[in-house]
Amino acid sequence: MEFLTQNGSRPGPIGQGTWYLGEDPAAFAEERKALQEGIEQGMTLIDTAEMYGDGAAEELVGSAIQGYDRESLYLVSKVYPFHAGRSNIFHSCRASLRRMRTDYLDLYLLHWRGSVPFAETVDCMEQLKRQGLIRAWGVSNLDTADMRELLAVPDGAHCAANQVLYHLGSRGVEYDLLPYLQQREIPLMAYCPLAQAGRLRRGLFANDTVQDIAFSHNATPAQVLLAFLLARPGVVPIPRTGQVAHTVENADAARLRLTAEELTALDAAFPPPTRKMPLDIQ
């Protein structure tokens, strides 16, 4: 239940997200440096999508990876659901490759479920694999029932990942989706692992339990939130930042090991779900 680069190395337990990056020309240079710092820190899994900035994030990734050994990187992008059929997916994939200045993707994800049947999308993904344009494929924003349906179509069991929103303040996936994926050794990529913004994010960072745990480890609240996810088998958080200092902070979270007592305290502060809940979006 892990990702491997083309040269067989592991990209590290924490990846890098790019949602909202690449859209501001004034911030491009700093965001590029942040991604490069992440690579230097071992966060060689970089996630993006054709949707992000209408391709701008993919272009940022393409610029950032120049000069690095491509086979040591693990590049992920996503296709719009309305591009995920035979008439569009091959063009979309090649366009993403051009923007990212690479010959192949390590992982190509269906961004969310649309009207194209799973069977058609899976068949196209398998064709992309045979053409050498992608090494593996997966999905994003699919709940348990969707996953069951996906895995039932021909070659659906080749799904290599499911990317969903998951953080300490949004634990609904723990009720059935995460166990379902773990049983099938399908990694869960956690986007917005530090919460997206607003009151919820502030509440997580300012929570007394989170603050106390951070203090005891000489860590930051963000690092505690990432360590919480890293304690879950098969979960790969992909925090997004355009600042070098925050990239280093995120990378350092991989060294933080929470104790059983600390995890219990976090459960008390942010209780795990006791019933089925819809996938969260914040």
Helix axes 198-206, 208-216, angle to 10 degrees: 50
Q: Let me know the angle formed at the C-alpha of 78 by 113 and 114, rounded to the nearest 5 degrees.
A: 15
The three-point CA angle 126-157-119 to 5° equals 55
| Contact status, residue 50 vs residue 79, Cβ threshold 8 Å | yes
SS3 252: helix
User: Cα(87)–Cα(257) distance, rounded to whole angstroms?
Assistant: 47
Query: Is-contact 105 133, C-beta < 8 A?
Result: yes
Report the half-sphere exposure of 115 (CA within 13 A, side-chain side). Answer: 1
Q: Does the pLDDT of residue 1 top 70, yes or no? A: no
Banded pLDDT at 2 (limits 50, 70, 90): confident
Q: Which CATH number fits domain 25-269: 3.30.70.3040, 2.60.40.790, 3.20.20.100, 3.40.50.1950?
A: 3.20.20.100
Please name the residue that has the structure tokens 């799904």. 159
Residue 282: per-residue pLDDT: 63
Percent of the chain exceeding pLDDT 90 equals 96
- pLDDT by residue (tens digit) across 173-225? 999 999 999 999 999 999 999 998 778 888 999 999 999 999 999 999 999 99
Q: What is the pLDDT of residues 225-271, one digit of tens each?
A: 999 999 999 999 999 999 999 999 999 999 999 999 999 999 999 99
For 254, which DSSP code? G
Mean pLDDT on 59-70: 98
- 144-166 average pLDDT score: 98
Q: Which residues are catalytic?
A: 52
Q: How far apart are CA 56 and CA 14, in angstroms?
A: 23
Residue boundaries of the structural domains of the chain:
25-269
What average pLDDT does the structure give for the chain?
A: 97
Per residue in 129-144, pLDDT tens? 999 999 999 999 999 9
Residue 199's pLDDT is 81
pLDDT band of residue 281 (cuts 50, 70, 90) is confident
- Which pLDDT does position 174 carry in this prediction? 98
Give the whole-angstrom CA distance, residue 103 versus residue 100.
Answer: 9
Give the pLDDT of residue 198: 76
Taking the C-alpha atoms of residue 127 and residue 200, their distance in angstroms, rounded to an integer, is 42
Q: For 99-125, what is each residue's pLDDT tens digit?
A: 999 999 999 999 999 999 999 999 999
Q: Do residues 141 and 113 touch, judged by C-beta distance below 8 A?
A: yes
Residue 167 DSSP one-character state: B
What's the gap between Cα 217 and its chain centre? Answer: 26
User: φ and ψ at 142, to 5 degrees?
Assistant: -105, 130
For residue range 23-38, list pLDDT tens digits in order: 999 999 999 999 999 9
Q: How many residues does the chain have?
A: 282
Mean pLDDT to the nearest integer, 57-78: 98
